[in-house]
Amino acid sequence: MISTYFKTIVTLTFTMLFLLSNAQVKKETNAKNWPNGAQLVISVSMQFETGGQPEGAESPFSGNPLPKGQPDLPAESWFRYGANEGIYRMLDLWKKYNIKVTSHVVGEAAVKYPEITKAIAEGGHEIAAHGMSWNNQWNMNYADELAFVKKGIDTVAAITGKRGVGYNANWLRRSPNTLKVLQELGFLYHIDDLSRDEPFITKVNGKNFVVMPYTLRNNDIVNVEGKHWSPDQFLVQLKMEFDQLYVEGVAKRRMMSISFHDRIGGTPAMVNAMDSFIKYAKNKKGVVFMRKDDIAKMVQNDPKTPIDNAEEKYNK
């Protein structure tokens, strides 16, 4: 009887020690992934583009374009929705949950709507660069591209007092010179890359440059506007992506990127879907919402940040 009792006590003791040890290992594993100890970092982009679009830009009407020179008034009103309603509705949502996002601002949008651009900055959100207008960079020479990027960032900085350190090219279509241009202008990171689910370092002229991978999967312009997903389909996508990355985050560094555009993500149904997702995500431990510049600064000199020089031939 005593022997059985003793064996039971020993078994329970070793079981408890194993569980505690296993929990400690998991805790230590998490702490080693992100410098701030998070299990999953979520970064939201809020693109402000109203007024920066060229004639015939992508819209619900661009599949049936009007003759060149003829103003497409319904399309222009669709873009204005982002300034009139979308940005303010999203700002209210971020404020509700004390979330800070990254807003890539087109220079011409800032000029036409300086009060909106200032409201984004005054809300504690990151003001990042998105060119002076919707214009291709892939076909610019070095000097022209540098002037284009510089004009955009200088314009927005003059309005907000915030000089961006992150960049997003029009439809991600940068040139082979873009990262060298950004480095020359003092940028910290860019987002025009889809190759990983975590930030990484690439060498530009031998120096560290941070890449904050963007998303086409959790992107309203691609899926809601482009593929005509309903907001509830988009919400399911966010939850499924979150669930998988959260599990992976136990063993390795994971970042979830979400992209909203003023005229699409700022609609009532999309904000409602995002509200539901935020509640869902915040219900899990170790989930942190962060601005992209803060993430980039956190990982820039971290020896655990991967170095990927897949584009080395362009960045010398």
Q: What is the 3-state secondary structure (H, E, C) of the chain?
A: CHHHHHHHHHHHHHHHHHHHHHHHHHHHHHHHHCCCCCCEEEEEEEEECCCCCCCCCCCCCCCCCCCCCCCCHHHHHHHHHHHHHHHHHHHHHHHHHCCCCEEEECHHHHHHCHHHHHHHHHCCCEEEECCCCCCCCCCCCHHHHHHHHHHHHHHHHHHHCCCCCEECCHHHCCCCCHHHHHHHCCCCEECCCCCCCCCEEEEECCEEEEECCCCCCCEHHHHHHHCCCCHHHHHHHHHHHHHHHHHHCCCCCCEEEEEEECCCCCCHHHHHHHHHHHHHHHCCCCEEECCHHHHHHHHCCCCCCCECCCCHHHCC
What pLDDT, in 10s, does the model give residues 211-249? 999 999 999 999 999 999 999 999 999 999 999 999 999
What pLDDT, in 10s, does the model give residues 143-154? 999 999 999 999
Residue closest to 191 by CA, chosen among 260, 266, 129: 129
Low-confidence winner among 24-28, 58-62, 142-146, 258-262 (lowest mean pLDDT): 24-28
- How sure is the predictor about 61, in pLDDT bands with cuts at 50, 70 and 90? confident
d(CA 303, CA 305): 6
Mean pLDDT of 2-23: 49
Residue 17 in this model has a pLDDT that exceeds 60:
no
pLDDT for 3: 53
d(CA 152, CA 299): 26
Contact 183, 209 (CB under 8 A): yes
Q: What is the dihedral of CA 286, 288, 293, 299, to 10 degrees?
A: 0
What pLDDT, in 10s, does the model give residues 82-108? 999 999 999 999 999 999 999 999 999
